Chain A
Amino acid sequence: MTDKSKSLPSLTRRATLAGLAAGGATLAMPGILRAQGESIRIGFPTPLTGPFAAEAKDQVKSAELAVKLINDKGGIAGRKVELLVRDDKLNAGEAATRTLELIEKDKVHAIVGALSSAVQLAVNEVTRAGGVIYVSISQSDTINEIKDFSRFTFHEALNPHMTTAAVAKHTFKKDSKVAYLVADYAYGHEMLRGFKRAQQAIGATSVGEILHPFGAADYSTFMPRLRSMRPDILCICNFGRDQANSVKQAVDFGMNRQSKIVVPVLLHNQRLAIGPEAFEGVIGGANYYWGLEDTIPAAKSFNDAFKAANGGAYPTDYGAYGFSGVYSLLLAMEKAGGTDTDKVIAALEELKYDIAKGSQHYRKCDHQSVQSVLVLESKKKAEMKNEADLFKVLATEPASETILRSCAELGFPA
């Protein structure tokens, strides 16, 4: 909300200044008029209010950092970049309305954002209809499939297929008994589907699946039945505060004594919100962890820039999506020399970028970002070197198309 009120006046002020400058330039030096053109506007819908607010705020901070880094270098073809943040309230209808407004009223050149598979599909619909480039930064498998494919959409986030495959590979074993506790909406369903596919390939078996209502605060009533399934692995597929509450309560019920707790995505902010004790030994996937800086130079420079801009705070997993989503788009605009939609799409399809976690590129058929998947384990309190030292990197699945479903399987013509 604050971001909204901040970005609005700064937009008009800057637009006015730019207009004045351009006007002055026309009179004085017509030669540089084009270089001083209108600013490049990126619309950024994200759920600033609601249960994913912590992750959304990190996305905004990191997206702002990407914009700042480009502007510090003089912008793109002399044009300044602006980020227009809007609260989508984690609601598909709200997100569609805000996105339409961004396109029609604010005349944005591209959209980046949304933080829920359902909301992201709504934004995808609007941008596809409007012919506007959209970089999606939240997990979804269906967005890759031909039914929902939009040539304007690029998918910067991991998808459930690659995430669950990587996590299962390092946690499931042949004949492991797996019990699932799954949030009853698109994200949970897609993660469950991914895990079950991986489970079958590995030779593990499912001993039960429980769907829980989205946004539940108490999970105690699911525990007796989960316990009676006697699983080796308790796989909890939910997001945001649901993850924090369900993992905490599973541990309260002693589930971690008989089973390994595994989650698709081990969330930085939720681990912070619940503390090291409840998360100790929990394993899950991630797109990013700041600890990558030991081995990856781009991670080090991203961390340093983020810390400098945010009073020493470390960037988070979902924050990194905000950064790489906006930054990769801006790199492509730079290559394309501006905001011409077809040129930017072509540039994104050609782009190789290494800006936070090592090399990445967008696959041509479905525009999925081919990137590494981390498998993390939450540290014991005693092992933590500082407040932000949350996870051990157990494994890194390298960036490769082999961890994605093939273009043919997604329905794209060969």
Chain B
Amino acid sequence: MDAELIAMQLFSGVALGAILIMVALGLSIIFGMLGVVNFAHGALFMIGAYAGLWVASLTGSFWWGLLIAPITIGAFGMLIERFLIRPLYKRSIDDPLLLTFGLGYVLVEAVRIVFGSDGIPFQTPPELAGVADLGIGFFPIYRLFVVAVVAVILVLLWLGLEKTKFGLIVRAGAKDPQIMRVLGVDISKVWLLVFGLGIGLTALGGVLAAPMRNVNPEMGSLVLAEAFVVTVIGGMGSLVGAVVAGLLVGVAISMTALFAPEMATIVMFALMALVLLVRPHGLFGKPVRG
């Protein structure tokens, strides 16, 4: 087996991890801040893909879809937080979980009714079609673009959390919401924005994934399982964890695909079991409070 192939395989793994990161980040942010395990996350990834497709077909441009869909679906996420999840905060952690679980089904069924269950073509935008020669092998230009977008989003997110006042409030709120209230910060507003941000990220993941896969109502279910594995490996609530684990899972899948391809799906669950045995809170997770 030559070195070029292995290098290429590593790179494919990183590219695969990029989409996982987008979904897992939102899942992790929402859990870390709000303590909500969002089972509708996969469905919102799928809604993001459909919204992107719809906007792109209306405007004739992929770029409008890429811009507008995540913002719109993020706003939709804020409505979900405000009117469905917020009334449940005082109750046990199971209640929002059950709510989002059911909501996921409702969203998938709604899309089936509106767009049908067969799946819709989504062409790679012509500007990004084709393959690029990386020196070690050929790789689709579109997938390189996806890696670049995810990298930019990560930098923006880091800047936003580390360098802005809002980021400071978010980080403090994640540690101790009670103190934030005492200090006069309207924490419910922060949570609303954080939930919207998390959903916007998964919707962006959906739009980015759409030209690589068939857009269909069930596309979110597999992604949800993968994203959960990534957040559990990285540590629930840890953003760094989601990024590292996303890349780790991507590379693990890719390397398995090279040596034992039929195991490529199962390997991430094996990895998760292994990590949980050694570090029950995940690689970067902290023991759950209270």
A residues whose Cβ falls under 8 Å from a Cβ of B: 51, 53-54, 57, 184, 210-213, 215-218, 220-225, 227-228, 241, 244-245, 248-249, 252-254, 269-270, 272-275, 277
Interface membership of B123, Cβ < 8 A? yes
The residues of A that contact B263 with a CB separation of less than 8 Å are: 213
Residues 1-32 of B at the A interface (beta carbon under 8 Å): 2, 5, 8-9, 12-13, 15-16
A and B contact pairs by CB, cutoff 8 A, 14 listed: A54-B119, A184-B262, A210-B257, A212-B262, A213-B263, A217-B213, A218-B213, A220-B12, A225-B9, A227-B138, A241-B216, A252-B124, A254-B140, A274-B119
Give B223 Cβ to nearest chain A Cβ, in Å. 7
The residues of B that contact A222 with a CB separation of less than 8 Å are: 257, 261
The contact of A275 among B121, B222, B223, by CB within 8 Å, is B121
How many contacts between A and B, using CB within 8 angstroms? 106
The residues of B that contact A249 with a CB separation of less than 8 Å are: 212-213
Most B Cβ at <10 Å: residue of A211, A212, A252: A252
Residues 87-123 of B at the A interface (beta carbon under 8 Å): 117-121, 123
Interface membership of B253, Cβ < 8 A? yes
Q: Say whether A51 contacts B218, CB under 8 Å.
A: yes
The answer to whether residues A273 and B9 also contact, given A184-B262, A217-B223 and a CB cut-off of 8 A, is no
The residues of A that contact B39 with a CB separation of less than 8 Å are: none
Please report the C-alpha to C-alpha distance between residue A53 and residue B218 in the assembled complex, in whole angstroms. Answer: 11
- Closest A residue by C-beta to B257: A221
Interface membership of B270, Cβ < 8 A? no
The contact of A224 among B12, B118, B223, by CB within 8 Å, is B12
Give A62 Cβ to nearest chain B Cβ, in Å. 16
Give B182 Cβ to nearest chain A Cβ, in Å. 46
Residues 161-192 of B at the A interface (beta carbon under 8 Å): none
Give A46 Cβ to nearest chain B Cβ, in Å. 14
Q: Say whether B118 contacts A269, CB under 8 Å.
A: yes
The answer to whether residues A272 and B118 also contact, given A221-B254, A253-B139, A277-B123 and a CB cut-off of 8 A, is yes
- Closest A residue by C-beta to B112: A53
Give B27 Cβ to nearest chain A Cβ, in Å. 18
B residues whose Cβ falls under 8 Å from a Cβ of A: 2, 5, 8-9, 12-13, 15-16, 117-121, 123-124, 130-131, 137-140, 142-143, 212-214, 216, 218-219, 222-223, 253-254, 257-258, 261-266
Given contacts A227-B138, A244-B119, 4 further A-B contacts (CB under 8 A): A213-B266, A217-B222, A221-B264, A244-B214
- Closest B residue by C-beta to A277: B123
Q: Say whether A252 contacts B264, CB under 8 Å.
A: no
Q: Say whether A221 contacts B212, CB under 8 Å.
A: no
Q: Say whether A216 contacts B118, CB under 8 Å.
A: no
- Closest B residue by C-beta to A274: B121
The answer to whether residues A54 and B118 also contact, given A224-B9, A254-B131 and a CB cut-off of 8 A, is yes
Give B7 Cβ to nearest chain A Cβ, in Å. 9
The residues of A that contact B117 with a CB separation of less than 8 Å are: 53-54, 57
Q: Which 5 A-B residue pairings sit nearest by Cβ, starting from the closest?
A: A275-B121, A221-B257, A273-B119, A213-B265, A224-B8
Q: Say whether B8 contacts A252, CB under 8 Å.
A: no
Q: Say whether B216 contacts A273, CB under 8 Å.
A: yes
Q: Say whether B214 contacts A248, CB under 8 Å.
A: yes
Q: Say whether B212 contacts A252, CB under 8 Å.
A: yes
Give A157 Cβ to nearest chain B Cβ, in Å. 21
Give A324 Cβ to nearest chain B Cβ, in Å. 22
